[in-house]
Amino acid sequence: MLIHVVKTRETLWQIASSYRIPIADIIETNELLDPNQLVIGQALIIPSEGIYHIVKSGEYLWKIAQTYNTTVQSILENNTEITNPESIYPGLVIYIPASTHSIQPGETLWQLAQKYGISLQNLIKANNIVNPALIYPGTVLVIPSKPKPPINVNGYIYLYGDNAVPVVKKDGAFLSYLSPFAYLINEDGSLQSIFDLPAIQAAREERAVPMMSITNFTTTSLGENLAHIVLNSTVITERLLNDIINVMKEKGYLGLNVDFENVLPIDREAYNRFLELTVTRLHAEGFFVSTAVAPKTTGEQKGLLYEAHDYEAHGRIVDFVILMTYEWGWRKGPPQAISPLNQIKRVLDYAITVIPREKIYFGFQIYARDWLLPHIQGQEAETFSVQEAMVRAINYGANIQYDSVTQSPFYRYTDEQGRGHEVWFEDARSAQAKFDTVKDYKLNGISYWALGYPFPQNWALFQDNFTILKY
């Protein structure tokens, strides 16, 4: 797939024509709410199994053909605007068609997947094959251009009851794990129950493993004193673990995610001991254990969020660790990128030195925020979906800008009351930059916070980058 950034006065018809694909394919892939309304700076995914190569200074057609294992003649046949092969110029977009294969008698899809070094799942998906048994000699198949690394995907969701079901049904195909958030711990070690059975059942139908989540904090309480009480009492800890195991067995959870936040620095070792005990008890019952940790850049980082989160200990004790690499642009702080990639890489640079890469999950937020300007300390930003961010950009005629340092899009607008606003969100460019980072650092997973904020471009790009692991 290719990402196209809308320019001044560009129309969808012009964009579709330049890439030789139907307008309907762009509309469907990006789930455009109003195809007649594009925003300058908007990033669109261009769906194609082929490759679009942008000519660089000093490049020649024969060299480009060699790079993509094709011929100059094939390139010319698929790019009729090139009238003189010797005079291509920097910036020219050249279409390199995908490889194809005409099925011969006796060949199977499995054999072809093996031959081309791709997964059977990707071969079927690339050709929209409904029934693999109904493939006949002479059928021409598109061969996906690159193998996709396998990856684990967790999705947190804080919608309960029947409200969770349509979200899980829509996104469940992309998930290895689903984590309803969350069971709040009481001071006596008991748990406040949540109505999570509909989400669990929907997850199972989508082959997403239900992962129970427990926490010590709420939107109105940091939870540091609660954590101190629970972590330093063997009686309370024992009751908590018993309740966790009972809930997991009763509701069909297969794993646990521990999200203790704002733990007092003096309770760092107590938290580590709790995790060791939790893993011992739950592994004996056949369950896995993960944790969620604040985004640290050093082992000595100060602050209530960070000091008690011992990366090295978590990496040694639990089965995997979710890095909460988001919320730099938090709802009560000043406007800025919510998940700035330059900051995230600092966290990853430290994390990989103390946690095995195969245990690290990259935290990915999929929502937008709108701050009033000028920002007043403590004034809360509005949180909504990426789709809503695009609607506002269209309605207010905003031009989308892209910050190259944080790898994040943003825009500003003035509302009907004359108030200034600044919106930070995610788009195809920022999502691809994060996927590239996951691959560059060779991480084992991605964890989304949180499902229920529509961001269709994310999932389209995700399929283009990874093979989702299912259990």
**DSSP assignment string, 415-458:** -TTS-EEEEE---HHHHHHHHHHHHHTT-SEEEEE-TTS--HHH
Q: What is the pLDDT of residue 81?
A: 84
User: Quick check: 22 and 16 in contact, CB under 8 A?
Assistant: yes
Q: Phi and psi for 170 in degrees, rounded to 5?
A: -75, -40
CA diameter of the chain: 81
- Where do we find the tokens 């018809």? 13
Task: Compute and round to an integer the Cα radius of gyration of the chain.
Answer: 25
As a whole number, mean pLDDT of residues 20-27 equals 90
Number of H helices, E strands in the chain: 16, 22
pLDDT tens-digit profile of 194-240? 999 999 999 999 999 999 999 999 877 889 999 999 999 999 999 99
What is the 3-state composition of the chain as percent helix, strand, coil, each rounded to the nearest 5?
A: 35, 20, 40
Q: What is the pLDDT of residue 347?
A: 98
pLDDT tens-digit profile of 150-195? 999 999 999 999 999 999 999 999 999 999 999 999 999 999 999 9
Q: Torsion angle, CA of 42/335/222/243, rounded to 10 degrees? A: 0
Q: How confident is the model at residue 416 (pLDDT cuts 50, 70, 90)?
A: very high
Catalytic residue set: 261
Helices (H), 172-266: 197-205, 224-231, 234-251
CB neighbourhood size of 54 (10 A): 11
Closest listed residue to residue 258, CA positions, set 194, 322, 310, 213: 213
User: Quick check: 196 and 180 in contact, CB under 8 A?
Assistant: yes
Domains and CATH numbers, the chain: 2-96 (3.10.350.10), 101-143 (3.10.350.10), 150-468 (3.20.20.80)
Residue 31, sorted as left (phi over 0), alpha (psi -120 to 50) or beta, turns out to be left
Q: What is the pLDDT of residue 125?
A: 80
As a whole number, mean pLDDT of residues 74-87 equals 87
> pTM for the full model?
0.84
Asked if residue 78 has pLDDT above 90, the reply is no
- Where do we find the tokens 């711990």? 185
3-state secondary structure of 408: strand
